[in-house]
Amino acid sequence: MEISQYIKEILLLNDCVIIPEFGGFVANYKPATVENNQFFPPTKEIAFNNKLVSNDGLLINFISEAEGIDYFSAKQKLDSFVEETLLNLERNRNVYFDGIGYLHYDSRENLQFEPQLKQNLLVESYGLQNFSYEKLYQRQMPKPAVKVEYREPVPVIFEKRKFKKLVVAVPLLIAMALIPMKHNKEYLAKSDMGMWETLMQSTPTTPAPVQEQTTEANTTAVVVVQPQNLKYFIIGGSFKSEENANKYLRQLSEKGYSGKDLGIYNGLHRVAMVGFVTMEEAQKELNSMLVQNPQSGVWIHINE
């Protein structure tokens, strides 16, 4: 077996192999690396030091045991190898060490070592192979554009129901019964919303007198309210365009409501369905509407 093969076997279990009167090979631990999408496991990095020339007996004893010869014969064989190696280097030839690398002189007559390991000499990395992997790139997905559209609020249309007529008509008839019939004939012929329309259209120059009707039980006073005194309004819808607001007013009229455009607030026309003098009256009517249609979205506007 060649001497270079003995050197490689010794480097598997040792970190240094000295060739007497020539130099020594030194193994240094090299951790795992990743280069060009390829993984390399830990290994031994081999270097040559021509200063290590003292005989430590390791290589000669290894040759003696491997070939079954005595120490002196093994030393003679190693000396012959050294003489042949030096002669080849003087002739500018490359001297190869199988599986490790080769030695040569450069242009300045300096001895150089070029490692060319054919196998991993680190025992702890036995069985680990080099492998490559595909480089992953993060895909930049374009974010979809969000289109914001303004939609007109859906107008809320309340339908009169028998229950509402009954709730409003009974208190109204009781109140009218306590007032002289000759002053209230025009109101008895109208519904609750018809009375609201009459109040909105009438513009008397002076407030109507308060009329009282005394009975054995108590005394009841009814005040005819002027339109300018209405402060609390139930809003049925808000619209960006005046055309839609007028359309909603016509729909309210068809349903029996005398609606009113209160003007523009925050860029929207506020359309009222009905108005009241006091907050208690407005809240009572609002509760009645929400009982009939909880999803209507009606609310009270206070006209300052």
Confidence tier at 100 by pLDDT (50, 70, 90): confident
Span 189-229, pLDDT tens digits: 444 444 444 444 444 444 444 343 333 333 333 333 345 57
Burial (CB count within 10 angstroms: exposed 0-12, middle 13-18, buried 19+), residue 173: exposed
The model's pTM: 0.41
Q: Choose among 212, 177, 200, 185: nearest CA to 276.
A: 200
Q: Give the pLDDT confidence score for residue 19 in this predicted structure.
A: 93
One DSSP character per residue, 217-233 reads S-EEEE----GGG--EE
Quick one: average pLDDT of 92-105? 89
Which residue type occupies 232?
Y
Please say whether the beta carbons of 271 and 260 come within 8 A: yes
Q: Give the pLDDT confidence score for residue 153 in this predicted structure.
A: 66
Q: How far apart are CA 273 and CA 187, in angstroms?
A: 20
Higher pLDDT, 248 or 169: 248
Q: How far apart are CA 229 and CA 219, in angstroms?
A: 24
Q: Give the pLDDT confidence score for residue 16 in this predicted structure.
A: 93
Q: How far apart are CA 278 and CA 77, in angstroms?
A: 124
Residues contacting residue 162 through CB under 8 Å, at least 6 positions apart? none
Quick one: average pLDDT of 263-280? 88
Higher pLDDT, 48 or 144: 48
Report the run of H or E that residue 263 belongs to, with start and end. strand 260-265
Quick one: average pLDDT of 276-291? 89
Q: What is the DSSP letter of 171?
A: H
Q: How far apart are CA 104 and CA 50, in angstroms?
A: 12
Please say whether the beta carbons of 85 and 95 come within 8 A: yes
Which domains, ranges and CATH numbers included, belong to the chain?
3-132 (no CATH), 162-302 (3.30.70.1070)
Q: Give the pLDDT confidence score for residue 138 in this predicted structure.
A: 55
